Amino acid sequence: MRVTIALLALTLATPALADEQAIALKKAPGLDKVEANCAACHSLDYIVMNSPYPNAALWDAEVTKMIKAYGAPIEDADAKAIAEYLKKNYGS
């Protein structure tokens, strides 16, 4: 078991900026919009690390903040789909 972990540690220590494909979000309606929009500016672990606490209002506020405060170019329909996805899959 120790050998296995050591091998794994070596793999993870590969000196390259880490690959984000590791972040596999839950497969559900809206995921395509999340991947197409949110991942343009940040890795999707931001979503996972904040779960499961945000309630519906908090996820709505986060999506709005990304658009209004951080200037994310997300269309209204996509924003709605993203918020719904987050509430259903990563909310409380």
Partner 1 sequence: MISRRHLLAAGAALAGSTTLPPIIAANAAGPQLDPALPEGLRDVAALEALPGKKPLIRMSYRPPNYESPLEYFRTPITPNDQFFVRYHLADIPEVDAKSWKLAVGGDGADKAIALTLDELKALPAVEVVAVNQCSGNRRGLFKPHVPGVEWGYGAMGCARWKGARLKDILDKAGLKKEAIEISFDGADKGVFDKVPDFVKSLPAWKAIEDTTIVAYEMNGAPLPHLNGFPARLVVPGWTGTYWMKHLISINALTKPLGNFWMAAAYRVPLGKFPVVARFISQETAANTPITEMVVNSLITSHADGANVKAGTMVGGIAWDGGYGITSVEVSTDGGKSWLPAQLGEDLGRFAFRPFSAPVAAKGKVTVMARATNKIGQTQTTELNQNPAGYHHNVIHRITLNVA
Q: Which residues bind partner 1 (CB under 8 A)?
A: 1, 3-5, 7-9, 11-24, 40-43, 45-54, 58, 62, 69-73, 90
Q: Please give the Cα distance from 91 to 75 (Å, whole number).
A: 22
Residue closer to partner 1 by CB (options 6, 29) is: 6
The Cα 48–Cα 50 span in angstroms is 5
Largest Cα–Cα distance of the chain, in whole Å? 51
Q: Rounded to the nearest whole angstrom, what is the least distance from the CB of residue 26 to partner 1 in the complex?
A: 11
Amino acid type, 90:
Y
Nearer of residues 29 and 55 to partner 1, judged by Cβ: 55
